[in-house]
Amino acid sequence: MKTAFITGITGQDGAYLAEFLLRKGYKVVGGFRRLSSPNFWRLEELGILNEVQLEEIDILDAASIIRILDKVKPVEVYNLAAQSFVAHSFSNPILTGNVTALGVTNVLEAIRIVNKEIKFYQASTSELFGRAQEIPQKETTPFYPRSPYAVAKLYGHWITINYRESYNIFAACGILFNHESPLRGIEFVTRKITDAVAKIYNGKQDYFEIGNLNAKRDWGYAKEYVVGMWLMLQTQKPDTYVLATGEVHSVREWIEVCFELVNKKIQWIGEGVSEIGKDSKTGKILVKVNPDFFRPAEVDMLIGDASKAKKELGWEAKVKYKELAEIMLRKDIERNK
Ligand code: NAP
Ligand code: GDD
Protein backbone atom coordinates (compact mmCIF):
# COMPACT_ATOMS: atom_id res chain seq x y z
CA MET A 1 0.00 0.00 0.00
CA LYS A 2 1.42 3.37 -1.07
CA THR A 3 1.44 6.17 1.48
CA ALA A 4 0.65 9.78 0.54
CA PHE A 5 1.26 12.71 2.85
CA ILE A 6 -0.90 15.82 2.46
CA THR A 7 -0.09 19.14 4.10
CA GLY A 8 -3.25 21.21 4.53
CA ILE A 9 -5.53 18.16 4.79
CA THR A 10 -8.09 20.18 6.76
CA GLY A 11 -8.63 22.58 3.83
CA GLN A 12 -10.97 22.24 0.85
CA ASP A 13 -8.50 20.55 -1.52
CA GLY A 14 -6.84 18.51 1.21
CA ALA A 15 -10.16 16.90 2.14
CA TYR A 16 -11.12 16.05 -1.46
CA LEU A 17 -7.63 14.82 -2.29
CA ALA A 18 -7.61 12.60 0.80
CA GLU A 19 -10.96 11.12 -0.24
CA PHE A 20 -9.70 10.53 -3.80
CA LEU A 21 -6.43 8.89 -2.70
CA LEU A 22 -8.21 6.65 -0.17
CA ARG A 23 -10.49 5.39 -2.96
CA LYS A 24 -7.34 4.74 -5.05
CA GLY A 25 -6.08 2.46 -2.27
CA TYR A 26 -3.48 4.78 -0.72
CA LYS A 27 -2.79 5.06 2.95
CA VAL A 28 -3.38 8.76 3.55
CA VAL A 29 -1.53 10.71 6.21
CA GLY A 30 -2.53 14.31 6.71
CA GLY A 31 -0.66 17.13 8.39
CA PHE A 32 -2.77 19.41 10.53
CA ARG A 33 -1.72 22.29 12.77
CA ARG A 34 -2.81 22.77 16.34
CA LEU A 35 -5.61 25.31 16.67
CA SER A 36 -7.59 26.28 19.77
CA SER A 37 -10.47 24.25 18.36
CA PRO A 38 -9.93 21.45 15.86
CA ASN A 39 -10.93 22.06 12.24
CA PHE A 40 -11.95 18.65 10.92
CA TRP A 41 -15.43 19.53 9.61
CA ARG A 42 -14.56 18.84 5.98
CA LEU A 43 -13.11 15.40 6.70
CA GLU A 44 -16.19 14.71 8.83
CA GLU A 45 -18.56 15.87 6.11
CA LEU A 46 -16.88 13.54 3.61
CA GLY A 47 -17.06 10.73 6.18
CA ILE A 48 -13.31 10.03 6.05
CA LEU A 49 -12.10 11.40 9.39
CA ASN A 50 -11.51 7.89 10.70
CA GLU A 51 -9.86 6.66 7.50
CA VAL A 52 -6.96 9.11 7.45
CA GLN A 53 -3.98 9.21 9.81
CA LEU A 54 -3.63 12.71 11.20
CA GLU A 55 -0.24 14.01 12.30
CA GLU A 56 0.45 17.35 13.91
CA ILE A 57 2.81 19.53 11.89
CA ASP A 58 3.25 23.18 11.18
CA ILE A 59 4.63 24.09 7.79
CA LEU A 60 6.63 26.81 9.54
CA ASP A 61 8.47 24.13 11.53
CA ALA A 62 10.77 22.16 9.22
CA ALA A 63 11.66 19.72 11.99
CA SER A 64 8.02 18.70 12.40
CA ILE A 65 7.87 17.81 8.69
CA ILE A 66 11.18 15.95 8.70
CA ARG A 67 10.00 13.83 11.64
CA ILE A 68 6.71 12.92 9.94
CA LEU A 69 8.28 12.03 6.58
CA ASP A 70 10.78 9.84 8.39
CA LYS A 71 8.00 8.18 10.38
CA VAL A 72 5.36 7.55 7.69
CA LYS A 73 7.63 7.09 4.63
CA PRO A 74 5.34 8.49 1.94
CA VAL A 75 5.94 7.97 -1.78
CA GLU A 76 4.06 11.17 -2.61
CA VAL A 77 3.79 14.50 -0.78
CA TYR A 78 1.12 17.04 -1.71
CA ASN A 79 1.90 20.49 -0.37
CA LEU A 80 -1.49 22.19 -0.03
CA ALA A 81 -0.88 24.07 3.21
CA ALA A 82 -0.88 27.84 2.76
CA GLN A 83 -2.31 31.08 4.01
CA SER A 84 -4.56 30.97 0.97
CA PHE A 85 -6.88 33.97 1.36
CA VAL A 86 -5.69 36.82 -0.87
CA ALA A 87 -7.46 39.58 1.12
CA HIS A 88 -5.84 38.40 4.37
CA SER A 89 -2.41 38.51 2.73
CA PHE A 90 -2.66 42.32 2.50
CA SER A 91 -3.22 42.64 6.25
CA ASN A 92 -0.79 39.80 7.17
CA PRO A 93 1.92 39.94 4.50
CA ILE A 94 4.78 38.64 6.64
CA LEU A 95 2.87 35.66 7.95
CA THR A 96 1.74 34.94 4.39
CA GLY A 97 5.34 35.08 3.17
CA ASN A 98 6.53 32.75 5.90
CA VAL A 99 3.78 30.16 5.42
CA THR A 100 3.01 30.35 1.71
CA ALA A 101 6.56 30.98 0.45
CA LEU A 102 9.15 29.68 2.94
CA GLY A 103 6.86 26.88 4.07
CA VAL A 104 7.41 25.29 0.65
CA THR A 105 11.18 25.24 1.21
CA ASN A 106 10.61 23.58 4.58
CA VAL A 107 8.79 20.70 2.88
CA LEU A 108 11.30 20.46 0.02
CA GLU A 109 14.22 20.45 2.46
CA ALA A 110 12.52 17.71 4.46
CA ILE A 111 12.28 15.63 1.28
CA ARG A 112 15.93 16.34 0.41
CA ILE A 113 17.02 15.24 3.88
CA VAL A 114 14.72 12.23 4.36
CA ASN A 115 14.34 10.71 0.89
CA LYS A 116 14.89 12.38 -2.47
CA GLU A 117 12.77 9.71 -4.20
CA ILE A 118 9.56 11.14 -2.70
CA LYS A 119 7.43 12.79 -5.38
CA PHE A 120 6.30 16.32 -4.56
CA TYR A 121 3.28 18.35 -5.67
CA GLN A 122 3.24 22.12 -5.15
CA ALA A 123 -0.06 24.02 -5.16
CA SER A 124 0.76 26.90 -7.47
CA THR A 125 -1.98 29.26 -8.54
CA SER A 126 -3.48 31.34 -11.32
CA GLU A 127 -2.91 34.33 -9.01
CA LEU A 128 0.67 34.19 -10.35
CA PHE A 129 -0.71 35.68 -13.57
CA GLY A 130 -2.34 38.57 -11.66
CA ARG A 131 -2.43 41.48 -14.07
CA ALA A 132 -2.70 39.05 -16.94
CA GLN A 133 -0.19 39.49 -19.74
CA GLU A 134 -2.05 37.19 -22.13
CA ILE A 135 -5.59 35.81 -22.61
CA PRO A 136 -6.11 32.98 -21.88
CA GLN A 137 -3.25 32.21 -19.49
CA LYS A 138 -1.18 29.07 -19.96
CA GLU A 139 2.07 27.57 -18.65
CA THR A 140 4.22 29.96 -20.72
CA THR A 141 2.35 33.18 -19.86
CA PRO A 142 4.58 35.65 -17.94
CA PHE A 143 3.70 36.12 -14.28
CA TYR A 144 2.58 39.43 -12.71
CA PRO A 145 1.52 38.78 -9.10
CA ARG A 146 -0.74 41.40 -7.49
CA SER A 147 -0.84 40.53 -3.78
CA PRO A 148 1.49 39.39 -1.00
CA TYR A 149 -0.19 35.99 -1.40
CA ALA A 150 0.61 35.81 -5.11
CA VAL A 151 4.19 37.00 -4.56
CA ALA A 152 4.65 34.32 -1.90
CA LYS A 153 3.23 31.69 -4.27
CA LEU A 154 5.64 32.87 -6.95
CA TYR A 155 8.50 32.03 -4.61
CA GLY A 156 6.91 28.64 -3.86
CA HIS A 157 6.57 27.98 -7.58
CA TRP A 158 10.18 28.77 -8.43
CA ILE A 159 11.73 27.07 -5.41
CA THR A 160 9.89 23.91 -6.46
CA ILE A 161 11.34 24.15 -9.97
CA ASN A 162 14.74 24.91 -8.45
CA TYR A 163 14.68 21.73 -6.32
CA ARG A 164 13.58 19.80 -9.41
CA GLU A 165 16.56 21.10 -11.36
CA SER A 166 19.15 21.17 -8.55
CA TYR A 167 18.50 17.87 -6.78
CA ASN A 168 16.60 15.88 -9.39
CA ILE A 169 13.56 15.68 -7.10
CA PHE A 170 10.30 14.74 -8.83
CA ALA A 171 8.62 18.07 -8.10
CA ALA A 172 5.51 19.08 -10.06
CA CYS A 173 3.65 22.41 -9.99
CA GLY A 174 -0.07 22.69 -10.64
CA ILE A 175 -1.09 26.20 -11.67
CA LEU A 176 -4.71 25.82 -10.64
CA PHE A 177 -7.36 28.38 -11.46
CA ASN A 178 -10.07 29.05 -8.86
CA HIS A 179 -11.85 25.88 -7.83
CA GLU A 180 -14.81 25.84 -5.54
CA SER A 181 -17.16 23.40 -3.83
CA PRO A 182 -19.49 23.05 -0.88
CA LEU A 183 -16.28 22.63 1.17
CA ARG A 184 -14.93 26.04 0.14
CA GLY A 185 -14.11 28.39 3.01
CA ILE A 186 -16.91 30.87 3.60
CA GLU A 187 -14.61 33.89 3.14
CA PHE A 188 -14.14 33.14 -0.58
CA VAL A 189 -16.58 34.90 -2.86
CA THR A 190 -18.47 31.96 -4.41
CA ARG A 191 -19.22 30.30 -1.09
CA LYS A 192 -19.91 33.63 0.63
CA ILE A 193 -22.62 34.16 -2.00
CA THR A 194 -24.13 30.65 -1.95
CA ASP A 195 -24.25 30.77 1.84
CA ALA A 196 -25.90 34.22 1.84
CA VAL A 197 -28.41 33.33 -0.90
CA ALA A 198 -29.30 30.16 1.02
CA LYS A 199 -29.86 32.17 4.20
CA ILE A 200 -32.00 34.72 2.33
CA TYR A 201 -33.98 31.86 0.74
CA ASN A 202 -34.48 30.26 4.16
CA GLY A 203 -35.59 33.60 5.67
CA LYS A 204 -32.56 33.91 7.94
CA GLN A 205 -30.99 37.01 6.38
CA ASP A 206 -32.25 40.01 4.37
CA TYR A 207 -29.25 40.99 2.24
CA PHE A 208 -25.48 40.63 1.97
CA GLU A 209 -22.53 42.93 1.27
CA ILE A 210 -20.00 42.38 -1.47
CA GLY A 211 -16.84 43.96 -2.95
CA ASN A 212 -15.87 44.21 -6.62
CA LEU A 213 -18.84 42.93 -8.63
CA ASN A 214 -16.91 43.09 -11.88
CA ALA A 215 -13.99 40.81 -11.00
CA LYS A 216 -13.93 37.81 -13.33
CA ARG A 217 -12.67 34.33 -12.64
CA ASP A 218 -12.41 30.90 -14.21
CA TRP A 219 -14.28 28.84 -11.60
CA GLY A 220 -14.09 25.03 -11.61
CA TYR A 221 -15.09 22.21 -9.26
CA ALA A 222 -12.47 21.33 -6.62
CA LYS A 223 -13.35 17.64 -6.63
CA GLU A 224 -12.17 17.38 -10.24
CA TYR A 225 -9.04 19.47 -9.70
CA VAL A 226 -7.56 17.15 -7.04
CA VAL A 227 -7.56 14.36 -9.64
CA GLY A 228 -5.31 16.58 -11.77
CA MET A 229 -2.90 16.95 -8.83
CA TRP A 230 -2.55 13.18 -8.60
CA LEU A 231 -2.14 12.79 -12.37
CA MET A 232 0.76 15.28 -12.26
CA LEU A 233 2.66 12.85 -10.00
CA GLN A 234 2.01 9.85 -12.29
CA THR A 235 3.92 11.18 -15.33
CA GLN A 236 7.40 10.11 -16.51
CA LYS A 237 8.90 13.54 -15.83
CA PRO A 238 7.90 16.28 -13.37
CA ASP A 239 6.45 19.35 -15.04
CA THR A 240 4.11 22.34 -14.62
CA TYR A 241 0.46 22.22 -15.68
CA VAL A 242 -2.44 24.66 -15.79
CA LEU A 243 -5.84 23.33 -14.64
CA ALA A 244 -8.82 25.49 -15.61
CA THR A 245 -12.25 25.34 -17.24
CA GLY A 246 -11.51 27.88 -19.99
CA GLU A 247 -14.68 29.83 -19.10
CA VAL A 248 -14.82 33.20 -17.39
CA HIS A 249 -17.64 34.77 -15.36
CA SER A 250 -17.96 37.80 -13.11
CA VAL A 251 -18.91 37.99 -9.43
CA ARG A 252 -22.06 39.79 -10.62
CA GLU A 253 -23.01 36.84 -12.84
CA TRP A 254 -22.38 34.40 -9.97
CA ILE A 255 -24.81 36.38 -7.79
CA GLU A 256 -27.40 36.45 -10.59
CA VAL A 257 -27.19 32.73 -11.26
CA CYS A 258 -27.44 31.85 -7.55
CA PHE A 259 -30.57 33.99 -7.13
CA GLU A 260 -32.03 32.56 -10.37
CA LEU A 261 -31.72 29.11 -8.82
CA VAL A 262 -34.13 30.23 -6.08
CA ASN A 263 -36.39 32.02 -8.59
CA LYS A 264 -35.27 35.55 -7.83
CA LYS A 265 -34.22 38.01 -10.50
CA ILE A 266 -31.78 40.75 -9.55
CA GLN A 267 -32.18 44.28 -10.78
CA TRP A 268 -28.97 46.34 -10.47
CA ILE A 269 -29.35 50.00 -9.59
CA GLY A 270 -26.67 52.69 -9.20
CA GLU A 271 -22.95 52.55 -9.81
CA GLY A 272 -19.66 51.82 -8.03
CA VAL A 273 -19.87 51.84 -4.23
CA SER A 274 -23.52 52.96 -4.41
CA GLU A 275 -24.63 50.03 -6.53
CA ILE A 276 -27.32 47.77 -5.07
CA GLY A 277 -29.09 44.65 -6.24
CA LYS A 278 -32.87 44.54 -5.73
CA ASP A 279 -35.39 41.76 -6.02
CA SER A 280 -37.08 42.72 -9.32
CA LYS A 281 -40.49 41.56 -8.00
CA THR A 282 -40.58 42.88 -4.45
CA GLY A 283 -38.05 45.75 -4.71
CA LYS A 284 -36.30 44.49 -1.54
CA ILE A 285 -32.55 45.12 -1.38
CA LEU A 286 -30.66 41.82 -1.58
CA VAL A 287 -27.09 42.98 -2.34
CA LYS A 288 -25.09 46.07 -1.29
CA VAL A 289 -21.57 47.00 -2.33
CA ASN A 290 -19.20 47.59 0.57
CA PRO A 291 -15.76 49.02 -0.30
CA ASP A 292 -14.30 47.25 2.76
CA PHE A 293 -14.21 44.17 0.52
CA PHE A 294 -12.18 45.89 -2.21
CA ARG A 295 -8.51 44.93 -2.46
CA PRO A 296 -5.56 47.37 -2.55
CA ALA A 297 -4.54 45.78 -5.86
CA GLU A 298 -7.11 43.74 -7.74
CA VAL A 299 -6.85 40.87 -10.20
CA ASP A 300 -9.52 41.84 -12.72
CA MET A 301 -9.77 38.76 -14.87
CA LEU A 302 -8.35 35.26 -15.02
CA ILE A 303 -9.11 32.63 -17.64
CA GLY A 304 -7.01 29.54 -18.18
CA ASP A 305 -6.02 27.34 -21.07
CA ALA A 306 -5.67 23.77 -19.80
CA SER A 307 -4.89 22.16 -23.16
CA LYS A 308 -1.48 20.88 -21.99
CA ALA A 309 -3.14 19.03 -19.09
CA LYS A 310 -5.74 17.61 -21.47
CA LYS A 311 -3.11 16.42 -23.95
CA GLU A 312 -0.53 15.06 -21.51
CA LEU A 313 -2.60 14.05 -18.46
CA GLY A 314 -5.98 13.37 -20.04
CA TRP A 315 -7.46 15.85 -17.53
CA GLU A 316 -10.38 18.09 -18.38
CA ALA A 317 -12.85 20.15 -16.31
CA LYS A 318 -16.36 18.78 -16.77
CA VAL A 319 -18.38 20.71 -14.20
CA LYS A 320 -18.87 24.28 -15.36
CA TYR A 321 -20.05 27.37 -13.59
CA LYS A 322 -23.87 26.93 -13.50
CA GLU A 323 -23.72 23.31 -12.38
CA LEU A 324 -21.12 24.29 -9.77
CA ALA A 325 -23.35 27.09 -8.42
CA GLU A 326 -26.19 24.59 -8.16
CA ILE A 327 -24.08 22.00 -6.30
CA MET A 328 -22.90 24.62 -3.82
CA LEU A 329 -26.22 26.38 -3.34
CA ARG A 330 -28.14 23.14 -2.81
CA LYS A 331 -25.71 22.15 -0.05
CA ASP A 332 -25.88 25.58 1.61
CA ILE A 333 -29.70 25.55 1.54
CA GLU A 334 -29.61 22.17 3.27
CA ARG A 335 -27.04 23.41 5.82
CA ASN A 336 -28.99 26.59 6.54
CA LYS A 337 -32.41 25.01 7.04
P1 NAP B 1 -7.67 26.22 2.23
O2 NAP B 1 -9.03 25.61 2.27
O3 NAP B 1 -7.48 27.60 2.73
O4 NAP B 1 -6.69 25.24 3.03
C5 NAP B 1 -5.41 25.66 3.42
C6 NAP B 1 -4.81 24.59 4.32
O7 NAP B 1 -3.51 25.05 4.77
C8 NAP B 1 -5.64 24.32 5.60
O9 NAP B 1 -5.63 22.94 5.86
C10 NAP B 1 -4.84 25.07 6.66
O11 NAP B 1 -5.00 24.54 7.96
C12 NAP B 1 -3.43 24.80 6.17
N13 NAP B 1 -2.44 25.67 6.79
C14 NAP B 1 -2.44 27.02 6.85
N15 NAP B 1 -1.37 27.45 7.54
C16 NAP B 1 -0.68 26.35 7.93
C17 NAP B 1 0.50 26.13 8.67
N18 NAP B 1 1.22 27.14 9.16
N19 NAP B 1 0.93 24.86 8.86
C20 NAP B 1 0.22 23.82 8.38
N21 NAP B 1 -0.93 23.95 7.69
C22 NAP B 1 -1.36 25.21 7.46
O23 NAP B 1 -7.09 26.19 0.74
P24 NAP B 1 -7.55 25.30 -0.52
O25 NAP B 1 -8.57 26.05 -1.27
O26 NAP B 1 -7.81 23.90 -0.08
O27 NAP B 1 -6.23 25.36 -1.39
C28 NAP B 1 -5.19 24.38 -1.22
C29 NAP B 1 -3.89 24.94 -1.76
O30 NAP B 1 -4.04 25.28 -3.15
C31 NAP B 1 -3.44 26.23 -1.09
O32 NAP B 1 -2.02 26.21 -1.07
C33 NAP B 1 -3.93 27.32 -2.02
O34 NAP B 1 -3.14 28.46 -1.88
C35 NAP B 1 -3.76 26.66 -3.36
N36 NAP B 1 -4.67 27.08 -4.42
C37 NAP B 1 -6.01 27.09 -4.22
C38 NAP B 1 -6.87 27.42 -5.25
C39 NAP B 1 -8.36 27.43 -5.07
O40 NAP B 1 -9.04 28.03 -5.92
N41 NAP B 1 -8.89 26.77 -4.06
C42 NAP B 1 -6.34 27.75 -6.52
C43 NAP B 1 -4.96 27.70 -6.69
C44 NAP B 1 -4.14 27.35 -5.64
P45 NAP B 1 -6.16 25.06 8.98
O46 NAP B 1 -7.36 24.23 8.65
O47 NAP B 1 -5.57 24.77 10.28
O48 NAP B 1 -6.36 26.52 8.69
N1 GDD C 1 -13.53 37.04 -0.94
C2 GDD C 1 -14.27 38.00 -1.51
N3 GDD C 1 -15.28 38.58 -0.79
N4 GDD C 1 -13.99 38.34 -2.78
C5 GDD C 1 -14.78 39.28 -3.36
C6 GDD C 1 -15.83 39.89 -2.68
C7 GDD C 1 -16.09 39.54 -1.33
O8 GDD C 1 -16.99 40.05 -0.68
N9 GDD C 1 -16.42 40.76 -3.54
C10 GDD C 1 -15.76 40.69 -4.68
N11 GDD C 1 -14.75 39.80 -4.59
C12 GDD C 1 -13.77 39.49 -5.65
C13 GDD C 1 -12.34 39.61 -5.19
O14 GDD C 1 -11.92 40.98 -5.18
C15 GDD C 1 -11.65 38.78 -6.29
O16 GDD C 1 -11.42 39.57 -7.43
C17 GDD C 1 -12.70 37.71 -6.62
O18 GDD C 1 -13.93 38.14 -6.05
C19 GDD C 1 -12.37 36.32 -6.10
O20 GDD C 1 -12.05 36.42 -4.73
P21 GDD C 1 -11.85 35.11 -3.81
O22 GDD C 1 -13.03 34.24 -3.92
O23 GDD C 1 -11.46 35.59 -2.46
O24 GDD C 1 -10.68 34.31 -4.53
P25 GDD C 1 -9.30 34.79 -5.18
O26 GDD C 1 -9.44 34.69 -6.66
O27 GDD C 1 -8.83 36.06 -4.61
O28 GDD C 1 -8.29 33.65 -4.64
C29 GDD C 1 -8.65 32.27 -4.70
O30 GDD C 1 -8.27 31.72 -5.93
C31 GDD C 1 -6.86 31.72 -6.18
C32 GDD C 1 -6.65 31.09 -7.57
O33 GDD C 1 -6.76 32.08 -8.55
C34 GDD C 1 -7.96 31.58 -3.53
O35 GDD C 1 -8.42 30.26 -3.43
C36 GDD C 1 -6.44 31.54 -3.72
O37 GDD C 1 -5.86 30.75 -2.70
C38 GDD C 1 -6.16 30.93 -5.09
O39 GDD C 1 -4.78 30.89 -5.32
Instruction: Annotate 132-156 with DSSP letters as a single string.
Output: -SSSSB-TTSPP---SHHHHHHHHH
For ligand 1, is residue 81 a contact (CB within 6 Å)? Answer: yes
With the most atoms of ligand 2 within 8 angstroms of its CB, the residue from 177, 186, 189 to mutate is 189
Neighbours of 44 (CB within 10 A): 11
* Alpha carbon nearest to ligand 1 atom 45, residue: 10
What pLDDT score was predicted for residue 218? 98
What pLDDT score was predicted for residue 256? 98
Catalytic residue selected from 16, 26, 149, 241: 149
Q: How far is the CA of 212 from the centre of ligand 1 (A)?
A: 23
What pLDDT score was predicted for residue 38? 86
Global confidence as pTM: 0.99
For ligand 1, is residue 83 a contact (CB within 6 Å)? Answer: yes
Of all atoms in ligand 2, which is nearest to the CA of residue 125? 39
**From the CA atom positions of the chain, what is the Rg in Å?**
20
What pLDDT score was predicted for residue 3? 99
What pLDDT score was predicted for residue 43? 98
**Does the bond joining 291 to the residue before it have cis omega, within 30 degrees of 0?**
no
What pLDDT score was predicted for residue 196? 98
What pLDDT score was predicted for residue 195? 98
For ligand 2, is residue 88 a contact (CB within 6 Å)? Answer: no
What pLDDT score was predicted for residue 182? 98
- For residue 133, report the phi and psi dihedrals to the nearest 5 degrees: -90, -5
> Consecutive 10-residue runs of the chain (337 residues): their mean pLDDT?
98 99 98 94 98 98 98 99 98 98 98 98 98 98 98 99 98 99 98 98 97 98 99 98 98 98 98 97 98 98 98 98 98 96
Assign 43 to helix, strand or coil: helix
| Closest among 117, 292, 259, 282 to 187, alpha carbons compared | 292
Q: How far is the CA of 127 from the centre of ligand 2 (A)?
A: 10
